[in-house]
Chains A and B, each alone.
Chain A
Amino acid sequence: MNLILGGGDVGKTTILDAVGLLLSASNAATISEADYWRRENTDEFSIEGIVSLPLSVDPNNFSVQLMPWDWNGADAVMPGDPQDGDVPEAKHPVYRLRVRGTADLELVWEIIQPDESTIALSAAFRKKIGLIRLSADDRNDRDLRLVFGSALDRLLADPAIKARIAKKVAEQDFSGAVGDAGVKALEALDQRLKAASLPSGVKLGLTSSQGLSIGALIGLLADRDGVALPMTSWGAGTRRMAALEIAASTQADNSVTVIDEVERGLEPYRLRQLIGILKSTFGQSFVTTHSPIAIQCSAHADLWYLDAAGAIGGLNREKIAPQQQRDPETFLAKLAVIAEGPTEIGFLRRLLRLAFKGDPLDCGVRVCNGQGNAQMLALLEAIGMTGLKFAALADDEGVQGGRWGVVKAAMGARLLRWEGGCTEEAVLRHLPEERLQEFLKDAEGGSNGERLRTLADRLGLEDKSLPAIEAKLVALKSSLRALIIEAATGKPDGSPEGKRNDWKAHGRAWFKSIAGGDELAGYALADDVWPKLEGSVLPLLNAILTSVDRPAVEHLNHV
């Protein structure tokens, strides 16, 4: 299962269309010059796919011997000549299929042999590969009708059935419904035809115009309160599930399923059910989605991310799995900004609101939780491998410097990693001494007992009053700033036996929450602090702005 993700209009459906066209079981698809790159139909387009054929697909119907390529794990290659030395045994036969849009607006399906010669790829053969296609548009009932190559057609697997149905329908006698006057008119016509030596013996029956197959009119009916209703008139979700069930009952492993907007028309519980069917029943599927639920329950799937520039890259399943479970929306944003923890989320949100002069989410910029330094690094690496655009804010915990260096080189201004510390330190470091005490006050101007408690604990004081703390600090020749930073970051060093976890939790009383991050951003934006931070923070904000086609700003209007 391949889940193709990405923002709007980046080309996800185009990828599904390409797969769909390549394996389409009919030659009826038409193309126009709008399907060509920049409408230049003199430049051909081609869609190529490398497939392995299951044993049930017999390639012997071709008049020419079909010869395989070898799959080396990344591409189709020719097996080496053993006369050139010890070449690896070729064990994985694959075939290259191609559909070309020619300069004459025609579609040509072919198989590419290892010598680049081609063999025509017949519709009958493509039908055997068995494409199941659920598109996002509302005319999505093809598979419920007896059209060539549809799921229903394959289910019945009887090439003569349409002819027999047509014959049966043609035998219907409509004379009863015509009425006496009609019968007389027909008889008169018959006489005239006879007199003119034209075909005679006329009666009414079902005829179709050219190109309209009787199969298109024959479809599944299902019972609803005693009335047979066409399946096609059920809801979108039900139609899709039914089409998949039909397909599932015919072929087990050799099909390719293409589903646009898998969540369409389905409640979360049915969506989970459908993804379960896909996982258990079908060969290979290509799915697009806008649903975090679909992403969350596709733990077995390969995720592909299509960025705003149209580049696609695979995401390393292991590295992104935690993010996929906890914050699947990360993968649905136009630009995801990975923030290391709640502090950074609150901090960034506030700054981004100012930069965007509104909610960045409106522009598809989502600030996501990176779940801590180590997991975030893995996630950024997975994303970075694909060359996709993400932004991030991270702390420097003094570990994995090399890996972070690689990520930074790839992401440039889109990654801000505080030098030698964390967000709290970066801000507090620049706050004037006299304002430090503001942290120890609550909203009403009283003392913030919780924060004072963490400071007192760290000094081993029973008394958490500020004077007591200050007195102890003087005695220790230590500063209030250093103590606040230690408490705010939950530094556990020096904690008494059994208190280590308590000390670590101190951060929560300070800024280790989204609200805390927001508060911290407020201090950062203060006139006496911002000029010292602007140099490192503004490039990140501007990188985010420009990534979503918004103009960069010279100054953050933080008033």
Chain B
Amino acid sequence: MSDASVAALLRSAEPLVVIEAPAGCGKTFQGAAYAREASQALPQGRVLILTHTHGACGVFANRTRGLSSRVDIRTIDSLVIQVATVYRRALGLPDNLSTWAYQNDGEGFDIMAIKVAGYMERHPIVREALARRYPLVICDEHQDASPAQHRVIMALRAGGARLRIFGDPLQAIFVSGSKSNTAMAAALSRWEGLKAASAFDVLDHPHRWEKGSPELGRWVLDARADLKARRPISLVQSAAAGLIVLRATNVAQVRTAYQVCRDDRRPIDAAAAKEVMVLAASNDRVRGLSAFWDRRIPIWEGHTRSALADLVRTTREQSGQPVALAQSVLTFAGAIGVGFSPSSHGDRLVKEVREGCARPARGKPAHIQRIARHILDEPSHHGVAGALGELHDLIEAKADGFGDIKIVHRGELRDAIRLKAFTCPDEGFAEIARRRSHALPAPPSRSLSTIHKAKGLECDNAVLIAGDQDQFGDTDYARCKLYVALSRAKRRLTVVVSHDKPSPLFRLA
């Protein structure tokens, strides 16, 4: 049992402590308990808990309730943004940082992290001001830190902060370029280097499963050991109470869709009937599964809004250009739902905007004209938000030609419509991003999620669809992703594996 030794090590005077923390082994409990205790003992300043996702912020917030004046929980991105914002003029960064950062798939965050890391390394007053406010920093999921984020954290240490780092190299699914073996290898060697330079210990008791299926917990730890050693995981017989293996082959013709035969389907439906988190390896698969259950299971959208960030950027750049704005509405609607395609609605919408809704129309074309008029009346983000609001109303009303459209990412559409209230789209986006960071939404009790978005969360029941060759190949990245998927459920884990093409990471015979 390493719980006691880890607790003692955390409370020691060591400037740098690193704890390897497999999923569900009480990392959050240890971290939060230590944060509570340390926050009371600090003569001045606060404890900073640095996470990588807003979801993890929420978990820590629950565990440290009532201490908000002594414990700050934030993502490392938000810390970087904060420093970058204050010194943006020296760093040559734009004023609308939070919007800028989200552009081009969040590339701004990397640029910012590199600049801030260099700035903190160069200037003692910057790192010391931060370390003075945060004399103790607890880092969660450090394996997800980019090299620049790692430098920011080490600069805090140089500024005088004590560091307590939790991480699990087996959950490194957010490493940039993680799909390549070399990037993964680099991340692993960074972790080993950090271990060597610190006081180090490992958590090894599967607390998450204590009230659920302790046997499942031990099985997950064993599976982790297998993955770490690059051995296949045995699914031969029901190895543990709570672990269910279903065999079902995807027979869908379309690559992104998911379809199984009726007999195979019945047990899958049963497994997903009650409170459950259905996990899939990719966004495409999540959308396929959403169709599989006829959109009855809501998609957990997580906290990122890449489609909205793109929409904001194009509306800013194309303001005053109705046709380009109509295109951006089309792109956005395609990204957040199904059934609104160029051929079904989009081309007509663009045409109507181009021609200024000149010809009278009825039925579906008339509805499309209603959307187009918003953009024609106000060729700005106001018009775009109005058009999306109109689209939303038409779908709700099941209007002619809009009955088949399904909104998959409802939150994202809602946020886009809200842009209308702001005088400038960037300001609106920043405000929405800020609210989202602080509101800490939780997934619905029954939901569909990618493994990435489920990371850091836990649930009673999980179904992984599917443990197939095409979803989990023979790479370290796939191993990490698989381990994250396997370690979410506390009571019952259902793994669906195809008859003919199971993942090489499993041993079924």
Chain B residues with CB under 8 Å of A65's CB are 82, 86, 129-130, 133
24 A-B interface contacts by CB (under 8 A): A58-B44, A58-B45, A60-B45, A60-B46, A65-B82, A66-B133, A67-B129, A79-B87, A79-B119, A79-B123, A79-B125, A80-B90, A81-B115, A81-B118, A82-B122, A83-B91, A83-B115, A90-B122, A90-B124, A91-B125, A114-B89, A115-B85, A115-B87, A115-B88
Chain A residues with CB under 8 Å of B45's CB are 58, 60
Chain A residues with CB under 8 Å of B132's CB are 59-60
Min C-beta distance of B434 to chain A, whole Å: 13
Chain B residues with CB under 8 Å of A80's CB are 90
In the complex, are the beta carbons of A83 and B44 less than 8 A apart?
Answer: no
B92: Cβ under 8 A from any A Cβ: yes
Q: How far is A184 from B88 in the complex, measured between Cα atoms in Å?
A: 75
Chain B residues with CB under 8 Å of A114's CB are 86-87, 89-90
Chain A residues with CB under 8 Å of B115's CB are 81, 83
Min C-beta distance of A85 to chain B, whole Å: 11
A93: Cβ under 8 A from any B Cβ: yes
If A58-B44, A65-B133, A67-B86 touch, whether A93 touches B91 (CB-CB below 8 Å) is no
Chain A residues with CB under 8 Å of B415's CB are none
The residue that B92 contacts in the complex, of A70, A81, A87, A91, with Cβ under 8 A, is: A81
B465: Cβ under 8 A from any A Cβ: no
Segment 91-137 of A: residues with Cβ below 8 Å from B = 91-93, 113-115, 117
Segment 35-89 of A: residues with Cβ below 8 Å from B = 58-60, 65-68, 70, 78-84, 87, 89
Chain A residues with CB under 8 Å of B122's CB are 79, 82, 87, 89-90
Segment 82-139 of B: residues with Cβ below 8 Å from A = 82-83, 85-92, 115, 118-119, 121-126, 128-130, 132-133
Q: How far is A84 from B123 in the complex, measured between Cα atoms in Å?
A: 14
Closest 5 CB pairs of A and B: A90-B123, A93-B125, A78-B90, A82-B122, A79-B123
In the complex, are the beta carbons of A82 and B119 less than 8 A apart?
Answer: yes
Q: Map CB proximity to A onto B248-267 as digits: 1 under 8 Å, 0 otherwise.
A: 00000000000000000000
Chain B residues with CB under 8 Å of A67's CB are 83, 86-87, 126, 129
Chain B residues with CB under 8 Å of A115's CB are 85-89
Segment 266-308 of A: residues with Cβ below 8 Å from B = none
10 extra interface residue pairs, beta carbon distance < 8 Å, beyond A81-B90, A82-B119:
A65-B82, A68-B126, A78-B87, A79-B119, A79-B122, A79-B125, A81-B91, A90-B122, A93-B125, A93-B129
The residue that B125 contacts in the complex, of A60, A70, A81, A82, with Cβ under 8 A, is: A70
Q: Map CB proximity to A onto B301-336 as digits: 1 under 8 Å, 0 otherwise.
A: 000000000000000000000000000000000000
Chain A interface residues toward B at CB < 8 A:
58-60, 65-68, 70, 78-84, 87, 89-93, 113-115, 117
Chain A residues with CB under 8 Å of B123's CB are 70, 79, 89-90
Chain B interface residues toward A at CB < 8 A:
44-46, 82-83, 85-92, 115, 118-119, 121-126, 128-130, 132-133
Min C-beta distance of A52 to chain B, whole Å: 10
Min C-beta distance of A28 to chain B, whole Å: 27
Chain A residues with CB under 8 Å of B83's CB are 67
Min C-beta distance of A106 to chain B, whole Å: 27
Chain B residues with CB under 8 Å of A92's CB are 125
- A-B interface contact total, Cβ < 8 Å: 77
Chain B residues with CB under 8 Å of A113's CB are 86
Min C-beta distance of B467 to chain A, whole Å: 45
In the complex, are the beta carbons of B87 and A60 less than 8 A apart?
Answer: no
Chain A residues with CB under 8 Å of B130's CB are 65
Min C-beta distance of A489 to chain B, whole Å: 59
Chain B residues with CB under 8 Å of A117's CB are 86
Closest to B79 in A: A65
Q: How far is A193 from B119 in the complex, measured between Cα atoms in Å?
A: 72
Min C-beta distance of A541 to chain B, whole Å: 54
Q: How far is A84 from B90 in the complex, measured between Cα atoms in Å?
A: 10
Q: How far is A117 from B85 in the complex, measured between Cα atoms in Å?
A: 10
Q: How far is A59 from B125 in the complex, measured between Cα atoms in Å?
A: 14
Q: How far is A90 from B118 in the complex, measured between Cα atoms in Å?
A: 13
Chain B residues with CB under 8 Å of A84's CB are 92
In the complex, are the beta carbons of A82 and B86 less than 8 A apart?
Answer: no
Min C-beta distance of A50 to chain B, whole Å: 14
Chain B residues with CB under 8 Å of A60's CB are 44-46, 132-133
If A70-B123, A90-B123, A114-B90 touch, whether A83 touches B118 (CB-CB below 8 Å) is yes
Chain A residues with CB under 8 Å of B90's CB are 78-81, 114
Q: How far is A70 from B121 in the complex, measured between Cα atoms in Å?
A: 15
Chain A residues with CB under 8 Å of B89's CB are 78, 114-115
Min C-beta distance of B372 to chain A, whole Å: 41
Chain A residues with CB under 8 Å of B125's CB are 68, 70, 79, 90-93
Min C-beta distance of B321 to chain A, whole Å: 32
The residue that A81 contacts in the complex, of B119, B124, B128, with Cβ under 8 A, is: B119
Closest to A90 in B: B123
In the complex, are the beta carbons of A68 and B129 less than 8 A apart?
Answer: yes
In the complex, are the beta carbons of A79 and B46 less than 8 A apart?
Answer: no
In the complex, are the beta carbons of B124 and A89 less than 8 A apart?
Answer: yes
Chain A residues with CB under 8 Å of B46's CB are 60
Q: How far is A67 from B87 in the complex, measured between Cα atoms in Å?
A: 9
Chain B residues with CB under 8 Å of A78's CB are 87, 89-90
Chain B residues with CB under 8 Å of A89's CB are 122-124
Min C-beta distance of A128 to chain B, whole Å: 12
Chain B residues with CB under 8 Å of A59's CB are 132-133
Chain A residues with CB under 8 Å of B86's CB are 65, 67, 113-115, 117
Min C-beta distance of B148 to chain A, whole Å: 12
Min C-beta distance of A291 to chain B, whole Å: 40
If A67-B83, A67-B87, A78-B87 touch, whether A91 touches B133 (CB-CB below 8 Å) is no
Q: How far is A89 from B118 in the complex, measured between Cα atoms in Å?
A: 12
Chain A residues with CB under 8 Å of B82's CB are 65
Q: How far is A82 from B123 in the complex, measured between Cα atoms in Å?
A: 9
Q: How far is A113 from B85 in the complex, measured between Cα atoms in Å?
A: 10
Min C-beta distance of B201 to chain A, whole Å: 30
Chain A residues with CB under 8 Å of B118's CB are 81-83
* From A87, A91, A115, residue with most partner B Cβ within 10 Å: A115
* From A67, A68, A113, residue with most partner B Cβ within 10 Å: A67
Min C-beta distance of A13 to chain B, whole Å: 35
Q: How far is A78 from B181 in the complex, measured between Cα atoms in Å?
A: 41
* From B92, B119, B123, residue with most partner A Cβ within 10 Å: B123
Min C-beta distance of A499 to chain B, whole Å: 66
Chain B residues with CB under 8 Å of A82's CB are 118-119, 121-122
Q: How far is A93 from B159 in the complex, measured between Cα atoms in Å?
A: 13
Q: How far is A80 from B129 in the complex, measured between Cα atoms in Å?
A: 16
Chain A residues with CB under 8 Å of B121's CB are 82
Q: How far is A173 from B124 in the complex, measured between Cα atoms in Å?
A: 61
Q: How far is A60 from B39 in the complex, measured between Cα atoms in Å?
A: 13
Min C-beta distance of A56 to chain B, whole Å: 10
Q: How far is A170 from B288 in the complex, measured between Cα atoms in Å?
A: 75
Min C-beta distance of B358 to chain A, whole Å: 49
Min C-beta distance of A97 to chain B, whole Å: 16
Min C-beta distance of A57 to chain B, whole Å: 10
Q: How far is A60 from B133 in the complex, measured between Cα atoms in Å?
A: 6
Closest to B43 in A: A58
Chain A residues with CB under 8 Å of B87's CB are 67, 78-79, 114-115
Chain B residues with CB under 8 Å of A87's CB are 122
Min C-beta distance of A340 to chain B, whole Å: 49
Min C-beta distance of B78 to chain A, whole Å: 11
Q: How far is A529 from B191 in the complex, measured between Cα atoms in Å?
A: 96
Min C-beta distance of B182 to chain A, whole Å: 26
Q: How far is A134 from B219 in the complex, measured between Cα atoms in Å?
A: 75
Min C-beta distance of B160 to chain A, whole Å: 11
Q: How far is A67 from B126 in the complex, measured between Cα atoms in Å?
A: 7
Chain A residues with CB under 8 Å of B129's CB are 65-68, 93
In the complex, are the beta carbons of A91 and B119 less than 8 A apart?
Answer: no
Min C-beta distance of A155 to chain B, whole Å: 22
Min C-beta distance of A71 to chain B, whole Å: 9
In the complex, are the beta carbons of B44 and A90 less than 8 A apart?
Answer: no
Min C-beta distance of B156 to chain A, whole Å: 12
